[in-house]
């Protein structure tokens, strides 16, 4: 059965959402998060403030990216349950980073810069840090759910949570280095290196180097 294609309305909604977010992140980066209002973002994007709020209920939402959780969860769910937990999660983190930064598609520089700017804003802006932590917790739970282990078994639940938490700690180290060197090193490679340093060279199924 073929996958359902998005409707014209869904495509337009997605395009509007991305346009608004790109203008918001650019303004926040250039002028500072606190200095920019939702009205400023709406004017830059050529839409109404109501349209901005329809896509992003709060100003903080303009910086958050919901793609990673979906991509990572999909890749974890599609992985073989016979593999070690760390490899299932680690490989999903690397693959999702490759997709998000455009390393395996078109316009990699633009995709990388947008993600880098969002991450830098979340880390450096006090008003966004709490939301960033919330998003990380949500991501961790999405990964644990995608592993598909029997969560009624306390031991299985503990192993899944521990493996996921450890992999995310390694990813956080990679993300920090990525922002510090302004994206000079490819994010998928940094995540793979952080995972290998933590768990050994077999932590990910494939280690892509650019």
Please say if the pLDDT value at position 106 is more than 80.
Answer: no
Distance of alpha carbon 47 from alpha carbon 89, whole angstroms: 39
Give 139-177 pLDDT, tens digit per residue: 999 999 999 866 678 898 899 999 999 999 999 999 999
Average pLDDT along the chain:
88
pLDDT of residue 24: 97
Give 40-89 pLDDT, tens digit per residue: 999 999 999 999 999 999 999 999 887 788 899 999 999 999 999 999 99
Confidence of residue 101 (pLDDT cuts 50, 70, 90): confident
User: Higher pLDDT residue, 177 or 204?
Assistant: 177
Q: What is the dihedral sign for C-alpha 85, 87, 88, 89? A: positive
pLDDT of residue 148: 85
Please say if the pLDDT value at position 207 is more than 60.
Answer: no
């Amino acid at each position: 059965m073929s996958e359902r294609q998005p409707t014209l309305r869904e495509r337009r909604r997605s395009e509007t959402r991305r346009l608004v977010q790109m203008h918001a992140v650019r303004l926040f980066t250039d002028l500072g998060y606190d200095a920019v209002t939702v009205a400023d973002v709406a004017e830059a994007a050529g839409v109404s403030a109501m349209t901005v709020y329809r896509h992003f209920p709060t100003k903080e939402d303009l910086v958050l990216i919901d793609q990673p959780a979906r991509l990572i969860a999909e890749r974890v769910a599609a992985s073989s349950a016979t593999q070690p937990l760390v490899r299932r999660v680690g490989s999903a983190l690397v693959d999702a980073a490759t997709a998000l930064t455009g390393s395996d598609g078109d316009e990699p520089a633009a995709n990388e810069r947008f993600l880098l700017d969002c991450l830098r804003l979340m880390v450096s802006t006090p008003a966004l840090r709490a939301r960033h932590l919330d998003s990380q917790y949500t991501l961790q739970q999405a990964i644990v759910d995608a592993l598909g282990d029997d969560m009624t078994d306390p031991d299985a639940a503990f192993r899944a949570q521990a493996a996921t938490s450890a992999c995310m700690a390694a990813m956080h180290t990679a993300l920090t280095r990525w922002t510090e060197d302004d994206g000079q090193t490819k994010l998928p490679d940094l995540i793979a290196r952080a995972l290998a340093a933590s768990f050994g060279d077999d932590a990910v199924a494939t280690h892509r180097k650019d």
